[in-house]
Amino acid sequence: MMVTKREIEKLLIPVRGSKRIVFTNGCFDIIHAGHVDYLEKAKSLGDILIVGMNSDSSIRRIKGDKRPVIPQEYRAKVLSALKPVDYVVVFEEDTPLELIKVVKPDVLVKGGDWNVENIVGREFVESYGGEVKTIPFEYDISTSRIIERIIELYCG
């Protein structure tokens, strides 16, 4: 389900303390098997999986004017339909720190390509006893590599 920051805050009030809340974030531009595997593993760390998804403008600032390939409404629709995902919250900022402060997850998780020390929100989550984890990638795939392969096949 796609919700706003204000809505997720209200939804979490009755479950905080009784359910283990897991948070992750990303662009999720072209959703692939690696994303699905990662989200399944993230969900296994708790009861509720909240995914912070970068807005279109946030992705353009981070990855350049040619991204995202898929508009945020479509990305959010696909992401929210995945079985492990309970809530999708689009954020406009370049990092999810403000959203993490609203969610106050029990577990903050990122992919294995991140060093725990560099995960945005780590210090905040650890300050109240939350856990910060990484999940190793099982699939050798990425949105950037998919785009490169399409260009190679059709333009190259």
Q: Where are the strands (E) in 55-145, listed by range?
A: 87-91, 107-111, 131-135
Give me the percent of the chain exceeding a pLDDT of 90.
93
| DSSP type of residue 118 | G
Place of tokens 């974030």: 25
Q: Average the pLDDT over 63-77 and give the result.
A: 96
CA–CA dist 131, 129 (Å, integer): 7
- Domain boundaries defined on the chain: 2-155
CA–CA dist 144, 68 (Å, integer): 10
Residue 95 pLDDT: 97
State the Cα torsion 47-94-99-134 to the nearest 10°.
30
- Is the pLDDT at 155 greater than 80? The verdict is yes
Q: Average the pLDDT over 31-36 and give the result.
A: 95
Residue 156 pLDDT: 73
Query: 2-155 adopts what CATH topology?
Result: Rossmann fold (3.40.50)
Give me the percent of the chain exceeding a pLDDT of 70.
100
Residue 91: pLDDT band (50, 70, 90) is very high
